[in-house]
């Protein structure tokens, strides 16, 4: 599909999506088509169950998709037997009205209706201009988080007791004067905490060190040792090597994500307008004391 | 009308009934993966330009090819995920009211706030790094396919025309639909549309939809969605469930249809499906058994599903396809039972209620069933089988997961939303009966017995589908009761006590031995295995009480034994003559549902040498890290709702993590 086609498609779909009547028609069509496909084009006679070749082939194919081989003759017979049994139960169950007021069946049908609506929304391929606009409108949502690269030296309050703070101040002075060890972390206490983090987001830092530490290191100066700062683990000296502010990515950098979010929103809107359009076909009457709940508004909201 | 009769690509019998068959695991990582210059694990400072690597010399070709780990980066950051999470696409989630789609479930797992099924604002406090979902059911897609010019349909001139009209939009599109409806009514629809063989494959199944959505939310380095499903056989009420995870994207996943318990309840048939999947698509699959505690002895039984004794072939395949297992989830802990391991004082957690019987309470759990119901006992049975078969069928690592059916994988005690919508926060949820025995007696389970647990911790080299999957295949994983503690566990023969104080602990660990999930090399004369173990508390959680190592071994008579060793602990406690360590204390204020980190340690580490090692005896070792006591979710409920629960309801607990074992086998 070239760009012209794409734009054209989008225009068409935008129009389609604004057309409630069309929704009904599309839905209706889908249901009819499906009903038709289900019944092989023609309903069987009331007391007859016909296992057409096409239906059997479909059973065999379904089997093959699961087992990744065709059914043996015995298995195929079993599939047919099972299908017939299910069909018998199904028809008898429907005849007895067991499908009425069955929560599972009702919800499954509702889900299928929602699928139809979603399929329509999913068919829409937006133009870059639309995505660009969406990105601009939701800049906060798509912002790349700030990134911090830093080293830290850990001093365990538990191991050092009352001297931990003084120890930290002393070590800080040495590090700031360039007199610290070649591996600053070796001046601190052993820990599973990372000695460095590279291009880490605030969330990543909080996950590793806790939120207090993440907040403080975010305010530390760049290019020099500073601290001491406290975390739930103990006392730390930190040296921030680089701080990259949160930035707004371009569409090219994150197009799949913008598309995903755009489609999610479209689906959401589509589902709502779809339901609203369908509901308009119905007059809803709420009886009893609960009617008061709807008195001030359109009684139809009872269906929400 | 069109309910369950017509099945999309492979649905068949599977779809109609299978309630919670599919589980897909997406993964999320909030962080970028580590930079490539991290050559060693742990805290090695990649920025230290004067770090001098060990001399390499000129090894022989054989030596070069020796290490299976060569060229592999050691993992430096543990990833957190849930491999067991249900959306509205699971039948039982659906029927109990869950409305969250796979898409919404991914968003929830990434930390977005939602309104729960019962109308409560809900949010995961910290995003997950990865996740898996489960689905089954047929779907639609026909009208979209006509619109999308699907070539299968475009061979028909009428459909071609309708396609053009629909694309023209407006009145013309409406006319097309009128035509379609007319054709349907007069039975003159193009035959291609009524041929299930053609149309069937066009109807995108729920499985495929979910797979497409998984790909959309999979962001390598940030958030991983793993495609999968739950296989849910429950013969006689006994839980034999497995979650199946694929290493692949939807392009491969969509080529198959998930295997359901309606296809077969036999795990060997599931493995055959997995093997066929790999052969057909070139992809990879693994399965994660869970809830042995509800299997009434069948999870680690000495017989295969068909009742025949286990064989070497069975053992090889089980080990191959089931590299990890779930030790904890909302439906209890499966580590062991107090009656099985009477000398282990930490086994009350996650037992009450779940010990009554199998999943449906259709049969009681008898003492005879216990030795093949629980994970530790399964490891012990594995040693016994290995002695006879030459292969250990139950050599499986450990993870935890939630099994939440309301799409809310919330396992923090102060944010527990239950397993089903009906168990979401309310003043009286604790006393609701969740299931009642269908067998003898009047056994029942209650909401208060559910655990706010657990998570899967994975030492993956980066946050991608491939890396997470591969870490599970090599069992470099651990499970927790919901806390995000960091745990390292290595085994070898040369660790010294100073290694526990190393600033490059993980580096030392990988260099001198194998990580959790690995195999010790055969012992050289006079040497005993040593273990380097370290744990760092969850930065948003409680301090640590202790680290223990659980050893299981096969004694001279061929009987499996077990023992729990205290290895590292907070404070100045001394173990008694019986080896038991005094309690760490307790700061929990039940009435206010609070605790303080004034006891315990932020970090513990030790090297432990097996004092009773016998080189001729096969063994396994795993670490258990225990936190100080904290309020249980029931205490938060009591405080927040102002209710008083009955005396039997626990109000506090000690959260914990369990590592995958390291195994030892004598040289042959």
pLDDT digits (tens, 9 = 90+) for A91-112: 888 888 888 877 777 877 787 7
Residue A177 belongs to a domain with what CATH number? 3.10.50.40
Is there a domain that residue B295 lies in? yes
Q: Are B294 and B398 found together in one domain?
A: yes
Q: What is the structure's pLDDT at B9?
A: 29
What average pLDDT does this structure show over A234-239? 96
Q: What is the structure's pLDDT at A121?
A: 67
Cβ-in-10-Å burial (0-12, 13-18, 19+) of B360 comes to middle
Number of domains in chain B: 3
Q: Note the pLDDT tens digit of each residue in A238-265.
A: 999 999 999 899 999 999 999 999 988 9
Is there a domain that residue A214 lies in? yes
Q: Which of residues B326 and B443 earns the better pLDDT score?
A: B326
In contact, B361 and B438? CB cutoff 8 Å? yes
Tokens representing residue B531 in the block: 């273990």
Q: What is the structure's pLDDT at B178?
A: 54
Residue of A37, A120, A193 lying closest to B199 (CB–CB): A37
Which of helix, strand or coil describes residue A302? helix
ipTM for this model: 0.77
- Beta carbons within 8 Å of A46's beta carbon, 6+ residues apart: none
Closest CA–CA distance from residue A107 to any residue of chain B (Å): 8
Which of helix, strand or coil describes residue B412? coil
Contacts across the A-B interface (CB distance below 8 Å): 273
Is there a domain that residue A38 lies in? no
**Would you give the distance in Å from CA A137 to the centre of its chain?**
20
Q: What is the DSSP-derived secondary structure letter of residue A44?
A: P
Is there a domain that residue A220 lies in? yes
Closest CA–CA distance from residue B572 to any residue of chain A (Å): 12
Q: Are B129 and B149 found together in one domain?
A: no
Q: Are B154 and B301 found together in one domain?
A: no
Give the whole-angstrom CA distance, residue B509 versus residue B504: 9
Is there a domain that residue B469 lies in? no
- When mean pLDDT is compared across A58-62, B366-370, B486-490, the lowest value belongs to A58-62
Q: What is the structure's pLDDT at A207?
A: 94
Is there a domain that residue B267 lies in? yes
- Strand-pairing partners, residue B223, are B28, B219
Using CA coordinates, name the residue in chain A closest to B47.
A196
Which of helix, strand or coil describes residue B107? helix
Q: Using an 8 Å CB-CB cutoff, list chain A residues near B177.
A: 22, 25-26, 28-29
Q: What is the structure's pLDDT at A294?
A: 81
Residue of B51, B103, B256 lying closest to A65 (CB–CB): B256
CB-CB under 8 Å, A68 with B12: no
Q: Are B332 and B242 found together in one domain?
A: yes
- When mean pLDDT is compared across A220-224, B178-182, B414-418, the lowest value belongs to B178-182
Number of domains in chain A: 1
* CA-based nearest residue to A229, from A163, A169, A147: A169
Is there a domain that residue A201 lies in? yes
Is there a domain that residue A72 lies in? no
- Beta carbons within 8 Å of A14's beta carbon, 6+ residues apart: A124
Is there a domain that residue A237 lies in? yes
Q: Using an 8 Å CB-CB cutoff, list chain A residues near B216.
A: 256, 260
Give the whole-angstrom CA distance, residue B63 versus residue A200: 37
Is there a domain that residue B71 lies in? no
Q: Which domain holds residue B617?
A: 484-664
What are the CA-CA distances from residue B398 to residues A75, B347, B510 (Å)? 37, 17, 19
Instruction: Please tell me chain B's helix, strand, coil percentages from 3-state DSSP, rounded to the nearest 5.
Output: 25, 20, 50
Is there a domain that residue A104 lies in? no
Q: Which domain holds residue A230?
A: 145-244
Is there a domain that residue A125 lies in? no
Q: Are B171 and B219 found together in one domain?
A: no
Is there a domain that residue B6 lies in? no
CB-CB under 8 Å, A34 with B140: yes
- When mean pLDDT is compared across B96-100, B201-205, B600-604, B622-626, the lowest value belongs to B201-205
**pTM summary value:** 0.80
Q: Are B401 and B516 found together in one domain?
A: no
Q: What is the structure's pLDDT at B176?
A: 63
Q: Using an 8 Å CB-CB cutoff, list chain B residues near A241.
A: 47
What average pLDDT does this structure show over B103-119? 93
Phi, psi of A199 (to 5 degrees): 45, 50
Average predicted confidence (pLDDT) for chain B: 84
Q: Are B95 and B155 found together in one domain?
A: no
Is there a domain that residue B567 lies in? yes
Q: Are B190 and B221 found together in one domain?
A: no
């Amino acid at each position: 599909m070239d760009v012209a086609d794409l734009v054209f498609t989008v225009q068409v779909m935008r129009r389609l999506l604004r057309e409630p009547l069309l929704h009904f028609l599309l839905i209706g069509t889908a249901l009819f088509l499906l009903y038709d496909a289900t019944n092989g084009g023609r309903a069987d006679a009331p007391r007859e169950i016909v296992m057409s070749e096409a239906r059997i082939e479909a059973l065999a194919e379904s089997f093959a998709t699961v087992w990744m081989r065709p059914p043996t003759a015995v298995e195929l017979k079993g599939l047919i037997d099972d299908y017939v049994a299910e069909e018998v139960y199904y028809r008898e169950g429907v005849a007895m009205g067991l499908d009425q007021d069955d929560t599972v069946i009702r919800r499954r049908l509702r889900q299928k209706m929602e699928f139809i609506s979603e399929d329509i929304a999913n068919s829409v391929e937006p133009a870059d201009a639309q995505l660009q606009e969406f990105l601009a409108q939701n800049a906060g949502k798509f912002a790349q988080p700030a990134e911090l690269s830093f080293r830290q030296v850990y001093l365990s309050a538990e191991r050092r007791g009352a001297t931990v703070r003084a120890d930290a101040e002393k070590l800080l002075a040495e590090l700031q004067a360039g007199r610290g060890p070649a591996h600053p972390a070796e001046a601190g206490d052993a820990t599973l905490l990372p000695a460095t983090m590279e291009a880490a987001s605030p969330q990543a830092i909080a996950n590793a060190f806790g939120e207090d530490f993440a907040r403080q290191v975010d305010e530390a100066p760049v290019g020099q040792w500073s601290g001491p700062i406290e975390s739930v683990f103990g006392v730390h000296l930190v040296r921030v090597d680089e701080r990259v502010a949160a930035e707004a990515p371009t569409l090219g950098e994150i197009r799949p994500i913008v598309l995903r979010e755009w489609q999610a929103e479209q689906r959401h809107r589509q589902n709502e307008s779809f339901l609203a359009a369908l509901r308009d076909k119905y007059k809803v009457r709420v009886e009893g004391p609960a009617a008061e709940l709807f008195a001030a508004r359109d009684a139809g909201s009872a269906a929400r | 009308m069109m309910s369950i009769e017509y099945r999309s690509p492979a649905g068949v019998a599977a779809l109609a009934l299978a309630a919670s068959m599919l589980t897909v695991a997406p993964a999320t990582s909030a962080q970028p993966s580590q930079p490539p210059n991290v050559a060693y694990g742990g805290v090695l400072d990649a920025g230290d330009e004067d770090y001098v690597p060990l001399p390499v010399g000129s090894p022989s070709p054989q030596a070069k090819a020796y290490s299976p780990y060569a060229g592999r980066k050691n993992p430096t950051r543990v990833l957190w995920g849930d491999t067991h999470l249900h959306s509205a696409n699971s039948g039982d989630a659906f029927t109990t009211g869950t409305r969250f789609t796979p898409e919404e479930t991914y968003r929830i797992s990434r930390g977005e706030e939602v309104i729960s099924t019962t109308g409560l604002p809900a949010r995961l406090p910290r995003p997950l790094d990865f996740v898996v979902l489960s689905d089954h059911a047929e779907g639609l897609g026909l009208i979209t396919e006509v619109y999308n010019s699907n070539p299968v349909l475009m061979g028909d001139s009428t459909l071609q025309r309708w396609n053009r009209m629909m694309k023209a939009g407006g009145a013309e599109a409406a006319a097309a639909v009128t035509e379609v409806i007319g054709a349907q009514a007069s039975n003159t629809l193009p035959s291609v549309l009524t041929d299930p063989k053609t149309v069937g494959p066009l109807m995108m199944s729920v499985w495929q939809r979910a797979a497409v959505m998984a790909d959309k939310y999979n962001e390598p380095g940030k958030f991983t969605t793993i495609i999968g499903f739950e296989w849910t056989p429950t013969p006689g009420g006994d839980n034999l469930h497995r979650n199946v995870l694929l290493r692949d994207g939807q392009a491969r996943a969509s080529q198959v249809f998930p295997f359901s318990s309606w296809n077969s309840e036999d795990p060997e048939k599931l493995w055959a499906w997995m093997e066929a999947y790999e052969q057909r698509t070139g992809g990879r699959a693994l399965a994660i058994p869970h809830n042995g505690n509800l299997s009434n002895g069948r999870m680690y039984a000495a017989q295969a599903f068909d009742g025949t004794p286990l064989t070497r072939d069975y053992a090889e395949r089980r080990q191959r396809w089931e590299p990890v297992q779930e030790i904890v989830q909302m439906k209890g802990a499966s580590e062991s039972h107090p009656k099985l391991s009477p000398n282990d004082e930490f086994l009350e957690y996650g037992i009450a209620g779940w010990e009554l019987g199998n999943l449906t309470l259709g049969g009681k759990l008898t003492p005879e069933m216990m030795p093949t119901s629980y994970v530790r006992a399964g490891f012990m049975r594995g040693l016994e089988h290995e002695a006879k078969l030459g292969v250990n069928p139950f050599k499986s690592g450990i993870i935890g997961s939630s099994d939440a059916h309301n799409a809310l994988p919330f396992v923090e005690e102060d944010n527990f939303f239950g397993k089903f919508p009906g168990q979401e926060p309310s003043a009286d949820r604790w006393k609701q009966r969740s299931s009642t025995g269908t067998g003898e007696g009047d056994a029942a389970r209650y909401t208060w017995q559910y655990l706010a647990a657990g998570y899967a911790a994975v030492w993956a080299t980066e946050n991608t589908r491939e890396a997470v999957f591969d870490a599970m295949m090599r069992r470099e994983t651990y499970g927790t009761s919901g806390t995000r503690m960091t745990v390292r566990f290595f085994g070898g023969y040369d660790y010294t006590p100073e290694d526990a104080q190393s600033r490059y602990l993980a580096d030392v660990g990988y260099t001198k031995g194998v990580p959790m999930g690995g195999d010790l090399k055969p012992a050289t004369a006079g040497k005993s295995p040593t273990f380097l173990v370290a744990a760092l508390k969850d930065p948003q959680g409680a301090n640590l009480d202790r680290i223990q190592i659980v050893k299981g071994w096969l004694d001279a008579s061929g009987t499996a034994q077990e023992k729990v060793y205290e290895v590292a602990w907070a404070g100045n406690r001394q173990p008694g003559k019986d080896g038991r360590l005094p309690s760490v204390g307790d700061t929990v204020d039940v009435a206010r549902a609070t605790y303080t980190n004034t006891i315990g340690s932020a970090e513990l580490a030790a090297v432990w040498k097996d004092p009773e090692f016998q080189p001729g005896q096969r063994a396994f070792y795993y670490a258990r890290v225990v936190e100080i006591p904290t309020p249980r979710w029931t205490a938060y409920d009591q405080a927040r709702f102002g209710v008083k629960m009955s005396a039997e309801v626990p109000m506090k607990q000690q959260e914990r993590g369990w590592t995958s074992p390291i195994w030892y086998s004598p040289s042959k």
